[in-house]
Chains A and B, each alone.
Chain A
Amino acid sequence: MRAPDDIPAWEAQGWRGWARCAGGIVWREGVRFLQQKERFLSALVRPLVWLFIFAAGFRAVLGLSIIEPYETYVLYEVYVVPGLCAMIQLFQGMQSSLSMVYDRETGAMRSMLISPYPRWFLLMSKLLASTAVSTLQVYAFLAIAWAWGIEPPPLGFVTVLPALILSGLMLGAIGLFLSSTVRQLENFAGVMNFVIFPMFFASSALYPLWRIKEGSPLLHDIAQANPFTHAVELIRYALYVKHNPDALGIVLLAGIVFFAAAVWAYDPARGVMARRRG
């Protein structure tokens, strides 16, 4: 038998324990994802439908001028690929928050929240897990797009990685915050209608901002204020080995703000968890 009050496991393990905790949360998300093959397929089918069908149809309708970061006229399929990468991350971020709501309803989330590690660290690990999964999905999509003839510079596949991580973290943080505000799983459909679709359509994912401005200056302003627009632009520039400091700054700032809001919402003393029964 041990001494009655000896050092608990997490304390005895030091920094290795922190790494194991984060690794365990990422691992579980990965196993879950692999077990749900239909989730992987639907994550890929959604952007591919946009690429193969929607973009092919719009190619004739939407003419694009030369805009940064492209150095020449590009086909609509080429333009839309970064937006579809961000769309994968947006849906993955929401999927992850959906699983948080499900876990909270079933009680499974409690086992994570009673871990001795700080709650901000647990939430950050959850974000990293979600981002790792979405990054893999994006690379699978980019590989298919390459086979379809959309060929960014090979170096772009490397330079886009930090952009994907940052945008994945930001979109995951938005999902994490939303998961704290959704009381029941049934209410999550509202998130689809009021968050995902407006964020996606009121952005530069499908059409360039100057085009939107021609049609509606108000929508252009909304798209400018939409952090998803800047995630799309960050990915677009990075995929073509260019840097967009404005997009980087806004994605970083939005990520920090939404993560802080999520940490607040899950705070035992102040957040929504404290005001809600159970």
Chain B
Amino acid sequence: MSATAPALEIEGLGHRFGERRVLSDVSLSVAQGSFTALLGVNGAGKTTLSNLVTRLYDAREGRIAVCGHDIKRAPQAALGRLGVVFQSRALDPNLTVSQNFLYQGALHGLPRAEALERGAALMERMGLGDRLDAKLRALSGGQARRAEIAAALLHRPRLLLSDEATAGLDIQARAALVEDMHRLAADEGVGVLWATHLVDEILPEDRVVALHEGRVVATDTAAALAGKKGLAEAFLALTGTSADAGAA
């Protein structure tokens, strides 16, 4: 595959549960080393899209490719380049952070030493270098989220998919996490798709894909979409619903 292939490319994606259509003709692309926000209110289809990209189940229509690898035809090649932070916790609260890294690393075939070393470096980078031996349940919400992100990055994915990763965090923790993600995209060349319903997590230069009732209603930089009105107002005008400004 080409080294310049987008980290994520989605074309004409559609899905339904029974008779209920949840995604229609969704197309979007995330370049390697870029940060793209997937903005939509609850129920817009963000989690379904995330489940399809992670191949929890297959899409009925359309195509998904990670770094040029089709998720249906070459699932191993695609999933091996993908890291995911889910809305609900995915790490084991009864294991320590290091033990979770060992397990997550093993799921990607990483040697024990490499998983521990990489996990420690990622935790250090996130300011949690001293929490490796703590049980996950002993961490605060923000710390646990950072550990989840570190676990998702252990195997050096080319695409990080985050589904409402800031759920339950306070404003400061959210801001710090979003800043981390921007730095990660820039420093490591990882494409980030950041699903959120909070406009204050989006910087003016970020690309935004606005999703409403399963359809992409706008794609542009946040600054261009916002114009003079501000992003929340612009989203309201596009969808008739209000994206959360994020104030606690």
Segment at the interface with A among B53-61, B175-183, B202-210, B227-235: B53-61
- Closest 3 A/B residue pairs (Cβ): A24-B106, A17-B109, A8-B80
Instruction: Check A10 against B51 for contact (C-beta < 8 Å).
Output: no
B94 touches which one: A16, A25, A32, A118 (CB < 8 A)? A32
CB distance from B10 to the nearest CB of A (A): 16
Using a CB–CB cutoff of 8 Å, the interface residues on chain A facing chain B are 1-5, 8-13, 16-18, 20-21, 23-25, 27-28, 31-32, 35, 106-108, 110-118, 268-269, 273-278
In the complex, which residues of chain B have a beta carbon less than 8 angstroms from the beta carbon of A114? 54-56, 79, 82, 84
Instruction: Check B109 against A269 for contact (C-beta < 8 Å).
Output: no
With A4-B32, A8-B155 already in contact, the answer to whether A107 and B90 are too (CB < 8 A) is yes
A116 touches which one: B4, B56, B76 (CB < 8 A)? B76
Instruction: Check A117 against B107 for contact (C-beta < 8 Å).
Output: yes
Q: Report how many residues on chain B are interfacial, defined by Cβ distance under 8 Å.
A: 57
A13 to B76, CA, bound (A): 13
Q: Which of B104-161 contact A (CB under 8 A)?
A: 104-112, 151, 155-158
Given A24-B105, A31-B99, A114-B84, 10 extra CB contacts under 8 A: A1-B187, A5-B2, A5-B5, A11-B76, A12-B109, A17-B110, A28-B95, A110-B86, A114-B56, A268-B58
Instruction: Check A5 against B67 for contact (C-beta < 8 Å).
Output: yes
B248 at the interface (CB under 8 A from A): no
Instruction: Check B155 against A9 for contact (C-beta < 8 Å).
Output: yes
In the complex, which residues of chain A have a beta carbon less than 8 angstroms from the beta carbon of B84? 110-111, 114
In the complex, which residues of chain B have a beta carbon less than 8 angstroms from the beta carbon of A277? 17, 48
In the complex, which residues of chain A have a beta carbon less than 8 angstroms from the beta carbon of B47? 278
A107 to B102, CA, bound (A): 18
CB distance from A140 to the nearest CB of B (A): 22
What are 27 A-B residue pairs whose CB atoms fall within 8 Å in the complex?
A1-B189, A2-B189, A9-B80, A9-B108, A10-B155, A11-B76, A12-B109, A16-B109, A21-B106, A23-B106, A24-B106, A28-B95, A31-B95, A31-B99, A106-B88, A108-B92, A110-B54, A110-B84, A110-B86, A110-B90, A111-B84, A111-B107, A114-B84, A115-B79, A116-B109, A273-B57, A277-B48
> Smallest CB-CB separation from B1: which chain A residue?
A5
In the complex, which residues of chain B have a beta carbon less than 8 angstroms from the beta carbon of A8? 77, 80-81, 108, 155-157
A32 to B151, CA, bound (A): 19
Instruction: Check B2 against A118 for contact (C-beta < 8 Å).
Output: no
> Smallest CB-CB separation from A17: which chain B residue?
B109
Instruction: Check A21 against B109 for contact (C-beta < 8 Å).
Output: yes
CB distance from B146 to the nearest CB of A (A): 16
> Smallest CB-CB separation from B51: which chain A residue?
A278
Instruction: Check A4 against B4 for contact (C-beta < 8 Å).
Output: yes
Instruction: Check A107 against B87 for contact (C-beta < 8 Å).
Output: yes
B247 at the interface (CB under 8 A from A): no
With A110-B54, A117-B76 already in contact, the answer to whether A3 and B3 are too (CB < 8 A) is yes
A25 to B105, CA, bound (A): 11
Instruction: Check A116 against B79 for contact (C-beta < 8 Å).
Output: yes
